[in-house]
Amino acid sequence: MFRRHGLSVFAVVIAAFILLPVIVIVSYALHADGALWQHLLDTVLNEYLVNSLLLLLGVGVGVLLLGVPTAWLTSMCSFPGRRWLSWALLLPLAMPAYIIAYTYTGLLDFAGPVQTWIRDLTGLGYGDYWFFEIRSLGGAIVMMSLVLYPYVYLMARAAFLEQSVSSIEVGCSLGYSRWRAMWSLALPMARPAIITGLSLALMETLADYGTVQYFGVSTFTTGIFRTFYGYGDTAAAAQLAASLLAFVMLLVLLERYSRRRARYHSAAESRARADLIPLMGSKAVMAAVLCSAPLTFGFIIPVTQLLLWAVFEAEPLGWDFVSLAWNSFSLAFLAAIIVVTLAIILSYAKRTKPIKPVRTVIAMAGFGYALPGTIIAIGVLIPLAWADHSLIALFENFGWDNPGLILSGSLVALLFAYTVRFLAVALGSVQSGLEKIKPSLDHAGRSMGHSPLAILRKIHVPLMRTSILTAVLIVFVDVLKELPATLILRPFNFNTMAVRAYELASDERLVDAAPASIMIVLVGLIPVLMLHASISRRRPH
Amino acid sequence: MRHMAIMNKLLLSAVTASLLSVTTAQAGDIVNVYSARKEALIKPLLDEFSATTGIKVNLITGKADALLKRLQVEGSATPADLFITVDAGRLHRAKEAGVLKPVSLPVLENSIPQALRDSAGYWYGLTLRARPIIYSKSRVSINELSTYEALAEAQWDGRICLRSSQAVYNQSLVAATIDALGAEATQGWVEGMVNNLAKSPSGGDTDQLKAVAAGVCDVTIANTYYLARLINSSKLADQAVASKLAVFWPNQQGQGVIGRGAHFNVSGAGFTKYGKHPEQAKALLEYLASAPAQAWYADINNEYPVVAGVEISQALKGFGDYKMDPIGLEVLGQNNRQAVQLMDRAGWK
């Protein structure tokens, strides 16, 4: 029994553990009293909903517009700068949304250098001229699109690159133009990857608190915090979070229904690439401009501003920056290894035994990504503290020393929270990598008498190396940027760069937050560059 | 390739080892602090305390409500000895949640005025934060200003900037006003102010000050230390902002609630119910209320000291003397929920 179902059982147990904090939150929600809910319904809920939906819609359109064309151009066409743009387009991933928001506000706000310059130049006063109000719903959409499009870019590009060129060639030989082949063949084939990237960006958008709060845009998530902080009502906050979760589930189901039985693995064997489509003259310039724009606005401008602040205005770095950087790096590194390993086990269990309970549990295990970090932290804290209390009771029974809070008071809590929050990211990348490998390879391995684990190790992992590295990269960078759960769950005297940047920024010392922000971006660049090196080594461009 | 694998293993073990070395709270001569005061605004004092007493201080900073939740969930196993917040309402909430215990400290009872600490000793105020009206010197004549309530009048239409009602400082201001005027009149006041807003609330107190200086609006309500920080800043742009602004102490004259005084709040600390180092915690709290520590708050963050006879910063002296609203600070906690609901209804974002 266990031999046949061992992996499935193991996977279900892991997934159930990861789901535990979400279950805690949902069960908390059942205890809420209706009075506050009624008040929210009467006053602010409508606005929260409308703003959240508009934000989702705007960011969805934004990341698709920025991510898909750039992925297509850098993977299928040749134009000047393509090589370095293909990895540089990933750079905004290292930029936390709240930091790009602070930075652009400093630049474009009425008190910032741009508007002050306009006023000095023209002699106009505030209100005499029109200027884009950065602190608005539109501003939030732009900021988030600029840093979240790399999810779509990364997934879409990997899909375009892994597509067998022959299907496009066949399309062309059937009389399709290259562009027609893109619309009718390449894009639909890349759809699962694009949708994965899009849903990651949207879930991140839903969970965002820092940006919308700073911009004064009331969304569902700021509502959750208002209920938790303002009303001190955990149950009602949990109820709002549970509604958010229900909404995400609905979206996931819709997407799954629209895909139904479509298969996306390529039947072709050949990995040989045809020549890239050469772009000449104005087309080449347009392609280069199109691909540099997201990079310029999502990375170069904000990083330059942060550097200027850090060098000329901020308080200089102290030596504790070394320990902050090491804490951030090691935590992100360890979390990425754990999360991706779990994602591989879960995805593979689903592939070998795609039975309903396994599929359902694994799909649900990724829901944590749409929940704000603070809510997940509470969901993690409650069961871990319960386990700690049980352990303490057990130790006392044996007459041993009180061990203290070895789970909820240590980094275990943080790593658990990161797993719950970011498993979806790793699952998305690993699963879409796995989907592209033909089942016939599994059958071949099985018929040669290999165990599923051996097949995973010898066939799948090498074949989806890029997908796995991508997953490691995204989880690493996400943990590096993560703030709310880190803030609540970290042990004594343990700070990260994100915590430092937040503390200074929330004390309204934006300029002094610049050095820590820059460090987050720099450390985040390490895996981006490593990923790039690894992918280019394996694939002739 | 081989080297890569070895490197990876080395890195992984280094990472694991360094993270495992982060233990929970060690035993010994220590005190464990959960603090909603930012690290930069407390750590130097804690280091100084450790240097003079030899007691090691372990610190976790975070948002007050999140730390409170952590205290609640950890229950009797909590390592925390002291809970520090920047708002009396949160201290009251912690007391109500049953995570604090009353401790009598004769030294502090003598030096800290009754109004600035819990009567039963559940918490003690450590610094005072005033939240007056701050106005543009060029566009507002001082005769136009009188009370917080007057900001709801039609003459201020399109001339006010306010920070979001998410900010606990605004919640406490409204909670205090409910105590003075009653819920109904406060509702009218808040609605009037929201109608007078020049722009939708966003950003922090400093952003409101910059907005007034840039001419987006003419008045705002903000904590004084933000203005003092701009005055003391080495940056010309900050000094330029500060030079355009002045403090007005509202509700200073008149009888009854009209002359109740300006709104203020305290940052403070309470003893956790299940703290394992009560003596060390007492020593730390007494140190935080001592004259040198009080002078440090005044000097570094421009907060008003809670003990008499401590010099305040030059910037604070420039704001002048004022009368404080003699409210019992636990009212801020009691009225908090009502205040937030009221602001929701008035559309204060």
| CA proximity to A76, closest of A163, A141, A5 | A163
The closest CB to that of B77, out of A228, A377, A405, belongs to A405
The mean of the pLDDT values for chain A is 85
- Residue B1: its pLDDT value, please? 47
Tokens linked to A57: 């819609």
Which chain B residue lies closest to A391 (C-alpha atoms)?
B77
Considering chain B, tell me which residue range(s) the CATH 3.40.190.10 domain(s) occupy: 27-128+265-311, 130-263+325-346
Q: Test B79 with A409 for CB contact under 8 angstroms.
A: yes
CB B323 within 8 A of CB B287: no
Residue A144 neighbours by CB distance under 10 Å: 25
What is the spatial distance between Cα A53 and Cα B75, in angstroms, rounded to a whole number? 39
* SS3 call for B61: strand
- Which helix or strand (DSSP H or E) is residue A278 part of? strand A277-278
Asked if A43 lies within 8 A of B200 by C-beta distance, the reply is no
CB-based contact A103:A210 (threshold 8 Å): no
ipTM of model: 0.85
Test B24 with A44 for CB contact under 8 angstroms.
no
- Per-position DSSP letters for A419-457, written without gaps between them: HHHHHHHHHHHHHHHHHTS-HHHHHHHHHTT--HHHHII
Spell out the domain ranges in chain A.
318-541
Number of residues written out for chain A: 541
Structure tokens at A408: 């909820």
- Give Cα separations from B28 to A395, B77, B276, B277 (angstroms): 20, 17, 11, 9
Burial of A398 (0-12, 13-18, 19+ CB in 10 A): exposed
Q: How many CB pairs under 8 A join A and B?
A: 172
Task: Please give the radius of gyration of chain A, using alpha carbons only, rounded to the nearest integer.
Answer: 24
Contact yes or no for A534/A470 (Cβ under 8 A): no
Query: Which residues contact residue A126 at a Cβ distance below 8 angstroms, ignoring those fewer than 6 apart?
Result: A110, A115, A119, B214, B215, B216
3-state SS, residue A145: helix
The C-alpha torsion from B221 through B222 and B223 to B225, rounded to 10°, is -140
Cα–Cα distance, B206 to B225 (Å, whole number): 10
For B341, list phi and psi in degrees, rounded to 5: -60, -40
Query: Nearest 5 degrees, angle CA A428-CA A294-CA A142?
Result: 80
For A521, the 3-state DSSP assignment is helix
Fold of B130-263+325-346: D-Maltodextrin-Binding Protein; domain 2 (3.40.190)
Q: How many helices (H) and strands (E) are present in chain A, helices listed first?
A: 26, 2
Q: In a mutagenesis test of the B interface, which of A312, A507, A509, A526 is the best target, namely the one with the most B β-carbons within 10 Å?
A: A507
Instruction: Please say whether the beta carbons of B162 and B220 come within 8 A.
Output: yes
Calculate the alpha carbon distances from B251 to A334, A453, B220, B255 in Å: 56, 75, 15, 10
Query: Which of A493, A495, A512 best tests the B interface by mutation, with the highest count of B CBs <10 A?
Result: A493
8 A C-beta contact, residue B241 and residue B210: yes
A318-541: CATH topology is: MetI-like fold (1.10.3720)
Judged by CB atoms closer than 8 Å, whether chains meet at A404 and B15 is answered as no
**Å between B126 CA and nearest CA of chain A:** 18
- pLDDT (mean) for B109-125: 92
pLDDT of chain A along its 541 residues, tens only?
445 677 888 888 999 999 999 999 888 888 777 778 788 888 888 889 999 999 999 999 999 999 999 998 998 888 988 888 988 998 998 899 989 999 999 899 887 888 888 888 888 877 788 888 888 999 999 999 999 999 999 888 878 877 766 666 666 666 677 677 777 777 888 888 888 889 889 988 988 888 998 888 999 888 888 888 777 788 888 888 888 888 888 887 777 776 665 555 554 444 445 567 788 888 899 999 999 999 999 999 999 999 999 988 887 777 788 889 999 999 999 999 999 999 999 998 888 888 888 888 888 888 888 888 888 998 999 999 999 999 999 998 888 888 888 888 889 999 999 999 999 889 888 887 888 788 888 888 888 888 877 888 888 888 888 889 888 988 999 999 898 899 889 999 999 999 988 888 888 788 889 999 998 988 888 887 777 777 666 554 4
Measured in angstroms, the CA of B272 and the nearest CA of chain A are apart by 16
Where are any strands of DSSP class E within B152-297? 160-161, 219-221, 245-248, 264-272
pLDDT tens-digit readout, B172-223: 999 999 999 999 999 999 999 999 999 999 888 999 999 999 889 999 999 9
List all residues 6 or more positions away from A331 whose beta carbon is below 8 Å from its beta carbon: A411, A414, A415, A479, A496, B19
List the structure tokens of B293. 């520590």
Instruction: Please tell me if residue A129 touches chain B, with a CB cutoff of 8 Å.
Output: no
C-beta atoms surrounding B119 within 10 Å: 10
| Residue A192: φ, ψ to 5° | -60, -40
SS3 A468: helix
Pairing of strands B56-61, B30-35: parallel
Q: Look at residue B28 in the predicted model and tell me its pLDDT.
A: 67
pLDDT of residue A224: 86
**What does the block give as tokens for A119?**
């006023």
DSSP calls for B200-222: ---S-HHHHHHHHHHTS-SEEE-
Nearest by CB to B65, from A42, A232, A385: name it: A232
Residue B70: which of A110, A411, A488 has the nearest Cβ?
A: A488
Chain B hits for A382, Cβ within 8 Å: 73
What is d(CA A154, CA A469) in angstroms, rounded to the nearest whole number? 11
d(CA A517, CA A307): 9
Closest CA to B201 of B185, B183, B220: B220
How far is the alpha carbon of A329 from chain B, nearest alpha carbon, in Å?
Answer: 9
pLDDT at B249: 96
Query: What would the mean pLDDT of B324-336 be, rounded to a whole number?
Result: 88
Cα distance from N-terminal residue to C-terminal residue, chain A: 48
* The CATH homologous superfamily of the domain defined by B27-128+265-311: Periplasmic binding protein-like II (3.40.190.10)
A405 touches chain B (CB under 8 A): yes
As a whole number of angstroms, the distance between CA A369 and CA A367 comes to 5
A491 → chain B, closest CA residue: B24
Local structure of residue B117 (DSSP, 8 states): B
Residues 323-342 in A contacting B (C-alpha not used; CB under 8 Å): 326, 329-331, 333-334, 337
